[in-house]
Amino acid sequence: MSMFETISEQQLHGGIQGFYRHHSDACDGPMRFAVYQPPQAAQRACPVLYFLAGLTCTEETATIKAGAQRLAAELGLVLVMPDTSPRHTGIDGATGDWEFGEGAGFYVDASAAPWSMHFRMRSYVADELPASIAAHFPVDVERSGISGHSMGGHGALTIALAHPARYRSVSAFAPIVAPSQVPWGRKALPRYLGADPKAWADYDACELVRRQTFPGVILIDQGEADQFLEAQLKPELFDQACAESGQALLLRRHPGYDHSYWFIASFIDDHLRHHAEALDLM
Amino acid sequence: MSMFETISEQQLHGGIQGFYRHHSDACDGPMRFAVYQPPQAAQRACPVLYFLAGLTCTEETATIKAGAQRLAAELGLVLVMPDTSPRHTGIDGATGDWEFGEGAGFYVDASAAPWSMHFRMRSYVADELPASIAAHFPVDVERSGISGHSMGGHGALTIALAHPARYRSVSAFAPIVAPSQVPWGRKALPRYLGADPKAWADYDACELVRRQTFPGVILIDQGEADQFLEAQLKPELFDQACAESGQALLLRRHPGYDHSYWFIASFIDDHLRHHAEALDLM
């Protein structure tokens, strides 16, 4: 990892909203991400919350639409919002399908050609990005949390369950919890990981939580008017897996809310407080 | 005015974020606008705040980027965010220039051909839109406020000063206050209104406030790192005009903030509270 470039930095809520680009070894190419530094970061290292976006999104989506910075500025929480996949990979078939490829990295380390050349978002988000953040921003890496939406909720849950010592807190909005069992996952995982479902289990929150629990309550918010609830999300499967494995889970169902960022904006403050508590900010 | 169409409605902060389209007689064509109804609007008529966006923006811009709905939901304030001009007018030269034409209506009633056929945003925002809002949403029209950003700040100031009895409160972010004297206005006003500067005065806040003051404090926030501050905005001209005419003005200058919606998001809560106080919500 060498190149690190500031695309823009603007003042927001007394802190700095920035967009950056760096070279990723994991993805073998440039990656973009957004960082919000609260005012407190000018004085001291602050805890950090990673927020992973969903299908079709970029590093701009949650940055612009979630409205997380206002309370992050109050709490003293750094926000990191990466892109959802490598871009401009040149791989045939990597663009043009909103459910697979660019914009749809599913936070896996692809093992199947040609995707394994670039689509290694698990390593990027769990290893490489945090190292770069630690090198360039005033963060207290011992106090890290992770959250996300939809495919990004799947990313947050699976990364936290795979690396429970790295994160003190995890939450998700309308996450994909059982990709091995739903159309989005059944379409993407075989192409990224091969046809053997055993390989998919490392990227399936319902499977992972049966192997190892997370030391803390997992917060999940789900809108009941979510157009993807029944076919793709199935939070009841994760509820059941957590119950069976002894994982503490707070699953909240909200009547009337859909899958959009309006839903996220409505409950983002609750998630920030959930993380702030685990990160010793409250 | 006949056609009224709901494009979408989604739940947000316990209320409803909607996008709508209706026919405008003033603009002789369809116009889009966004309305946020806070939870209180399900029970009773609520005060209403109009927010006018700036150059290049649509009804989506402030709706998505300003982050106003969170506090509006707490206060019980309806938010109305119209588009910045008629669209698809078919007028030669109406597109392709971000400073003039579609997306740049300057909240004037154009008197010069061919713009006078469609570009009548003063009448649309001050007369026709409020009538349509009153007909279709639970608003207390006696309690209306108006705000805006940049060109939309110019719109808010000039409409409030032209109709001081219709609005109980007015505020602006980084407004154009003296279009007759700055490049944006000197480019747009002659084409919309003709070459005689006398016609421009009806759309120049510095001129209007010398004719008639607004019965209440005008709140203006201005970022000191605003890239348009010196050439286009010149808040000192409005400060001076207000001082000369006895207009109460609270002009706040914020070091480090630029012209973007990050600046608006940083201070939108202060503006909502400014309006809520005048609208008897606090």
Q: How far apart are alpha carbons A192 and B116 in whole angstroms? A: 58
| CATH code where residue A20 lies | 3.40.50.1820
C-alpha span between A82 and A129 (Å, rounded): 8
Instruction: Give buried/exposed letters for A29-47 (b at 16+ CB in 10 A, else e).
Output: eebbbbbbbbbbbeeebbb
Which B residues, 42 through 101, put their C-beta within 8 Å of a C-beta on chain A? 64-65, 67, 69-70
CB contact under 8 A, B17 and A262: yes
Catalytic residue of the set B24, B132, B150, B171 = B150
Rounded CA-CA distance B228/B258 in Å is 9
Looking at the structure of chain B, the number of domains it has is 1
Q: Are B11 and A69 inside 8 Å of each other by CB?
A: no
**In chain A, which residues have their Cβ closer than 8 Å to the Cβ of B8?**
none
Nearest-CA distance B133 → chain A (Å): 22
Which tens digit of pLDDT belongs to each residue from B65-87? 999 999 999 999 999 999 999 99
Quickly count: other Cβ atoms within 10 Å of residue B142's Cβ: 11
B277/B167 Cα distance (integer angstroms): 13
**Residue numbers in B near A14 (CB within 8 A):** 266
Mutate to test the interface with B, among A13, A60, A266 (most CBs of B within 10 A): A266
Whether residues B225 and A11 touch (CB distance < 8 A) is answered with yes
- Indicate if the pLDDT at residue B1 is higher than 50: no
- ∠ CA A11-A12-A18 to the nearest 5 degrees? 65
**β partners of residue B16:** B11, B37
User: How much of chain B, in percent, has pLDDT values that exceed 70?
Assistant: 99
pLDDT at A2: 63
Question: What pLDDT is recorded for position A282?
Answer: 83
Torsion angle in degrees (nearest 10) through CA of B199, B205, B208, B210: -130
Distance CA A217, CA A179 (A): 22
B183 in reach of chain A (CB within 8 A):
no
How high is the mean pLDDT of chain A? 97
Of B10, B67, B257, the CB nearest to A70: B67
Dist. CA B270–CA B242, nearest whole Å = 21
Q: Number of A to B CB contacts under 8 A, please give it.
A: 52
What are A79's strand-pairing partners? A36, A49
CB contact under 8 A, B266 and A12: yes
What lies within 8 Å, CB to CB, of B171 at 6+ separation is B145, B147, B156, B218, B219, B220, B221, B271, B274, B275
What pairs with residue B90 in β-bridges? none
How confident is the model at residue B178, as a pLDDT? 98
What number of other Cβ atoms are within 10 A of residue B72's Cβ? Answer: 27
Nearest CB among B65, B223, B225 relative to A64 is that of: B65
At A196 the pLDDT is: 96
Q: How far is A90 from chain B (nearest CA, A)?
A: 32
The Cα of B109 is separated from the nearest Cα of chain A by a number of Å equal to 33
* Annotated active-site residue in A118, A149, A259, A274: A259
Which of B7, B36, B70 is best to mutate for the A interface (most A CBs within 10 A)?
A: B70
Distance CA B185, CA B234 (A): 12
Contact at CB, A64 and B69, closer than 8 angstroms: no
Burial B169-206 (b: 16+ CB within 10 A, else e): bbbbbbbbbbbbbbebbeebbebbbeeeeebbbbbbbb
Containing domain of residue B83, as a range? 5-278
Residues A184, B85: Cα–Cα separation, whole Å: 40
DSSP per position, B115-144: GGGT-BHHHIIIIIHHHHHHHHS-EEEEEE
CB-based contact, A11 to chain B, within 8 Å? yes
Indicate which of A7, A9, A11 best probes the interface with B, i.e. most B CBs within 10 Å of its own CB.
A11
Task: Give tens-digit pLDDT for A205-217.
Answer: 999 999 999 999 9
Is some CB atom of chain B closer than 8 A to the CB atom of A2?
no
The Cα–Cα gap between A130 and A115 comes to 23
Cα B165 to Cα B167: distance, rounded to the nearest angstrom: 6
User: In this predicted model, what pLDDT tens digit does every residue of B181-231 receive, in sequence order?
Assistant: 999 999 999 999 999 999 999 999 999 999 999 999 999 999 999 999 999
B150 catalytic, yes or no?
A: yes
Using the Cβ of A253 and the Cβ atoms of chain B, whether some distance falls under 8 Å is answered with no
pLDDT tens digits along A15-34: 999 999 999 999 999 999 99
**A15-24: strand order across its sheet:** A4-12, A15-24, A29-37, A78-82, A46-52, A139-148, A169-173, A218-223, A249-254
Of residues A65, A70, A266, nearest to B13 (C-beta) = A266
Catalytic site residue from A150, A169, A171, A275: A150
- Say how many CA atoms lie within 13 Å of B204 toward its Cβ: 24
| Interchain contact A262–B (C-beta under 8 A) | yes
Please check whether residue A10 touches B, CB under 8 A.
yes
Task: Determine the 3-state secondary structure of B55 from DSSP.
Answer: coil
Q: Sort out which chain A residues have CB atoms less than 8 A from B17's CB and list them.
A: 262
Query: Between the CA of residue B122 and those of A223, B111, B157, B172, B185, what are the distances in Å?
Result: 40, 12, 12, 17, 15
Torsions phi, psi of A68, nearest 5?
A: -80, -20
Considering only CB atoms, B10 lies closest to which of A64, A65, A260, namely: A260
Within the 12-31 window of chain A, which residues sit less than 8 Å (CB to CB) from chain B? Answer: 12-14, 17
The Cβ-side half-sphere exposure at A208, using a 13 Å CA radius, reads: 22
Kind of pairing, strands B218-223 and B249-254? parallel
pLDDT band, very low/low/confident/very high, at B279 (cuts 50, 70, 90): very high
Alpha helices in chain B (DSSP H): 61-65, 69-75, 121-123, 129-136, 151-162, 183-193, 197-200, 205-211, 235-245, 261-278
Percent of chain A scoring above 90 in pLDDT? 99
Burial class (CB in 10 A: 0-12, 13-18, 19+), B255: exposed
Contacts of A35 in chain B (CB under 8 A): none
Give the global pTM. 0.97
Pick B12's closest partner by Cβ from A11, A225, A262.
A262
Q: Do A17 and B262 touch (CB under 8 A)?
A: yes
Q: Would the CB atoms of A14 and B69 count as touching at under 8 Å?
A: no
Residue ranges of the alpha helices (H) in B36-140?
Answer: 61-65, 69-75, 121-123, 129-136
For residue B191, what pLDDT is reported?
98
Q: Do A13 and B223 touch (CB under 8 A)?
A: no
Is residue A1's pLDDT more than 60?
Answer: no
Rounded Cα gap, residues B181 and B245, in angstroms: 19
CA distance B163 to B31: 22
Whether the Cβ atoms of residue A97 and residue A85 lie closer than 8 Å to each other: no
pLDDT tens digits, A55-107: 999 999 999 999 999 999 999 999 999 999 999 999 999 999 999 999 999 99
